[in-house]
Structures are given as C-alpha cells and as structure tokens.
Amino acid sequence: MTPTTAWILLGLAAFGVSDWRRRSVPAWPFDLWLVGLWVLAALTGRPPCWRLGAAWLAGLAALALATRGLGSADVLAIAAIAALHPPEWGLWWVLLACTATGLHHRLAHPATLPLLSWLGVSFAILLALHLLLL
C-alpha cells in the first residue's frame, strides 16, 4: 500500500465517521487533509490529473446545486481522490458508493445520507479487489 493510499483511507475513515455521526465534516481539518493528499501524491510521483479533477468538480458541483443533496465535502473528496486514479476507476468507485448509499437509504430511511462514509467503504472494497487480483 502506498503512502497516498494509506492517507486516503485514513482521511475517509476519520471524516466518514464524522459524516455518519454528526452529519457534518469539520472544514479546516478536511481541507488540510485534501491539500496534504495532493502534496503527498506529488512527492511520491503520483501527481493528480488536474483536468480530470476539474471535470469531476464541475460535474458534481452542478449536481450538488441542482439537487441540494450533495455536500461540499462529498464533492471535494470525490474530485480530489478521483483525480489521482484513472477515469474508469473513479466511475466505479462513485457508482459503488452511490449504490451503497441508496441501499442504506432504502433500508434505514435516515434524515440525511452519509455519502462520505460510503465513499470510504467503497474505496476499501476497490482496494481489496485490486490487491486480490494482482
């Protein structure tokens, strides 16, 4: 596991718990985690693809504005992490997280949906699949 992957898992776990319990994410620690993620990725030879990150950010920001259901932490986390992976990987990651979130809503009917938590679970599942198939 690379340091970047470990940093992603650590952040998604910590902020996912916050999203699940409090339905919010503390802004400045979250922003520091994202900046640290891109700095660590650049230092370890895995710089983000800026165009891909901008495309994710623009698309998700438009979706968040249109639906009023996607939080800013969700949008920033998806854009930042997806920019470090191939486009297909990002699509599968978000699809898996959205499916899990939809099932969570269908079974539990919570007032709000903790997408960041399911992004962490989905990231761990995709990482496990990747390690199993190596």
Contact (CB, 8 A) for 117 and 20: yes
Instruction: Flag whether the pTM goes above 0.85.
Output: yes
- What single letter denotes the amino acid at residue 67? T
End-to-end CA distance of the chain: give it in Å, rounded: 12
Identify the pLDDT of residue 113.
85
Could you list the mean pLDDT of each consecutive 10-residue stretch along the chain, which spans 134 residues? 92 94 92 93 89 94 90 93 93 95 92 90 95 87
Identify the pLDDT of residue 123.
96
Burial class (CB in 10 A: 0-12, 13-18, 19+), 118: buried
**Separation between Cα atoms, residue 10 and residue 108, nearest integer Å:** 26
List the one residue out of 51, 17, 20, 14 whose CA is nearest residue 34. Answer: 14
Identify the pLDDT of residue 98.
94
Identify the pLDDT of residue 134.
76
Identify the pLDDT of residue 68.
85
DSSP string, 14-61: HHHHHHHHHS---HHHHHHHHHHHHHHHHHTT----HHHHHHHHHHHH
Identify the pLDDT of residue 8.
94
